[in-house]
């Protein structure tokens, strides 16, 4: 009997110890869950109980300098999916995802496969997602049809859609957005942060059936709309150059036409456009369609670069008072270099070689200056480096070091071959001559603004990063402007002459390199004209470049100068009517 009692007592102690161990294990586990990892599980529970819908902010507008709208965002809708609620609803209605997809296809113009893929969205760990975005930027008419389906779990939220008010007007400058509403090119990318704004949200706690809990109020956070970007662009001048570029493209059967108009006194870009003969084909290539050639592409400037060589001669006082002889060609290091006028210009002065755009005269001048001085001056004028313009994708151009240049290279660089520049880079240097010797950063943004609750416009930021540098003597720049005026009144730029306006400028006809061979292509040229007016105190500068004109003459004096003449007439008539201060802001 004693042995039996002893055995029972022993069993009782074992059971008691086991229960005690279980109890303390449970207490330990509860301590671990409630204290050690409590915050983690609270967060998980809160996330499961909370429903939050993002409210997208309205993207800021892009305006021209007179507050004309160039890009705006309008209110549309976004279709979100609460996948947990949606599955319960479909189960109650005895519907499948396939059935729902068939109903949505004709409403939102999406392929059935796309809809099913979104309905079956999974998390990175492979588990079904609780929510997904079905489609953004949906119009009211489509939303009405979706609501008529009466299916819980399809959530309608506010969204915005971008409209460019004049279609392709200024398109490569304005840029575009991706599907998520983020800027991917042009001003839309450069100022994406300012334009984007801050999204808001609606959040509330829900039960297991995803119904809002009756004791829990919605929490609403207002979105903060993006700021407006006011550009330096003048819509009227932009319209002039868009039409001029299109006409020049067709008249000359050219590959492309690029035109830029600037205020040389402050670096503001008043207008910028690029038109290409194959723009229709570009629609297949998004990168090509939204590329800005004036900022991103380099070209050999040809004779418009003679302005820089002439400025270097004045800077160093080399060759300015010398005579030059052009017999139509010259031999440098065993290489024969030809003038555009094969008959030659004969005896010339420094001013003559500028107004005649004499290659041989500039070969001789470049040799006098020397490669070290010429390259150093070109670099001081901003070549071989980015200007810092507030547009994406800028190229630094190509300017070799003196150690990489031989006598032939020096000769050709002196008249604009053997280096690469961008349009905006060249214009920054040309503006330096126009404004009296100060290099100023080209820019497209005038200021950033927003409208407060009372409707008052608040200026958040004015452009101030001019990076001004005095790089050329004021008196020498006035001398060179006088020489450039003679190019138009007496020389190769006569077709840019405007009575009473005193236009100064320089033509340039450069051979084009064939990218397939790396050699100059036979019969292909870039014809350019860089001009300023009035030459004594320029208010406006412009650059017209026509790539591969093929309808007759390819000389810039015949092809590009007339385009510049017509634009100067239009622009100064407009400035006179509207008022210089209103257009140029000086």
The residues annotated with a catalytic role in the active site are 303
- Whole-number Å distance between alpha carbons of 340 and 306: 14
Opening angle at CA 526, ends 517 and 479, nearest 5 = 130
Strands (E), 168-255: 200-205, 219-221, 228-231
| Residue from 99, 206, 84 nearest 152 by CA | 84
Residue 431 and residue 128: Cα distance in Å, rounded? Answer: 61
CB within 8 Å of 319: residues ≥ 6 apart: 313, 350, 364, 365, 368, 369
Q: Nearest to residue 238, comparing CAs of 104, 62, 432?
A: 62
In angstroms, the CA 321 to CA 325 distance is: 14
Based on the number of CB atoms within 10 Å of its own CB, is 523 exposed (0-12), middle (13-18) or buried (19 or more)? Answer: exposed
CB 488 within 8 A of CB 496: yes
Our separate counts of H helices and E strands in the chain read 23, 21
Q: For residue 87, how many other CB atoms are within 10 A of its CB?
A: 14
By CB atoms closer than 10 A (0-12, 13-18, 19+), residue 46 is exposed
For tokens 């690469």, what's the residue?
A: 420
């Amino acid at each position: 009997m004693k042995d039996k009692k002893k055995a029972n007592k022993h069993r009782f102690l074992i059971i008691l110890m086991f229960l005690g161990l279980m109890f303390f294990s449970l207490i330990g586990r509860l301590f671990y869950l409630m204290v050690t990892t409590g915050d983690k599980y609270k967060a998980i529970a809160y996330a499961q109980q909370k429903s939050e819908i993002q409210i997208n902010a309205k993207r800021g507008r892009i305006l021209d300098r007179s507050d004309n709208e160039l890009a705006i965002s309008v209110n549309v809708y976004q279709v979100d999916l609460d996948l947990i609620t949606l599955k319960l609803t479909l189960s109650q209605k005895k519907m499948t995802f396939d059935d729902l997809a068939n109903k949505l296809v004709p409403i939102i113009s999406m392929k059935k496969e796309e809809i099913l893929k979104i309905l079956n969205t999974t998390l990175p760990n492979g588990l079904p997602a609780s929510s997904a975005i079905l489609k953004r930027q949906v119009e009211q008419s489509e939303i009405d049809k979706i609501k008529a389906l009466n299916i819980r779990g399809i959530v309608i939220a506010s969204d915005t859609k971008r409209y460019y008010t004049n279609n392709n007007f200024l398109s490569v400058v304005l840029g575009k957005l991706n599907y998520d509403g983020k800027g991917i090119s042009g001003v839309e990318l450069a100022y994406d942060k300012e334009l984007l704004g801050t999204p808001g949200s609606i959040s509330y706690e829900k039960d297991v059936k995803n119904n809002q809990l009756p004791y829990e109020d919605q929490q609403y956070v207002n979105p903060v709309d993006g700021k407006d970007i006011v550009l330096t662009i003048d819509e009227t001048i932009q319209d002039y150059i868009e039409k001029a570029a299109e006409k020049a493209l067709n008249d000359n059967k050219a590959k492309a036409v690029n035109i830029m108009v600037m205020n040389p006194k402050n670096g503001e870009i008043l207008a910028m456009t690029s038109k290409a003969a194959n723009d229709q084909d570009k629609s297949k290539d998004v990168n090509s369609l939204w590329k800005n050639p004036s900022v991103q592409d380099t070209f050999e400037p040809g004779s418009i670069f003679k302005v820089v060589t002439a400025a270097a001669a004045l800077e160093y006082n080399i060759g300015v008072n010398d005579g030059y002889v052009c017999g139509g060609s010259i031999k440098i290091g065993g290489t024969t270099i030809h003038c555009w006028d094969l008959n030659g210009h004969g005896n010339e002065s420094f001013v003559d070689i500028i107004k005649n755009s004499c290659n041989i005269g500039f070969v001789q001048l470049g040799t006098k200056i020397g490669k070290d001085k010429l390259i150093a001056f070109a670099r001081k004028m901003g070549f071989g480096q980015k200007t810092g313009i507030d547009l994406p994708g800028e190229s630094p151009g190509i300017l070799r070091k003196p150690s990489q240049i031989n006598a032939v290279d020096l000769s050709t660089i002196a008249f604009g071959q053997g280096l690469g520049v961008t349009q905006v880079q060249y214009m920054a240097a040309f503006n330096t001559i126009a404004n009296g010797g100060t290099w100023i950063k080209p820019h497209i943004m005038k200021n950033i603004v927003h409208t407060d609750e009372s409707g008052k416009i608040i200026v958040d930021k004015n452009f101030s990063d001019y990076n001004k540098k005095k790089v050329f003597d004021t008196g020498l720049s006035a001398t060179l402007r006088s020489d450039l005026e003679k190019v138009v009144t007496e020389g190769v730029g006569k077709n840019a002459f405007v009575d009473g306006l005193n236009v100064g400028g320089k033509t340039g006809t450069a051979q084009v390199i064939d990218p397939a061979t790396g050699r100059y292509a036979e019969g292909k040229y870039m014809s350019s004209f860089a001009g300023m007016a009035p030459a004594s105190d320029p208010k406006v500068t412009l650059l017209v470049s026509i790539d591969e004109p093929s309808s007759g003459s390819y000389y810039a004096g015949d092809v590009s100068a007339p385009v510049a003449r017509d634009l100067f007439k239009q622009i100064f008539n407009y400035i006179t009517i509207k008022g210089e201060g209103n257009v140029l802001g000086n």
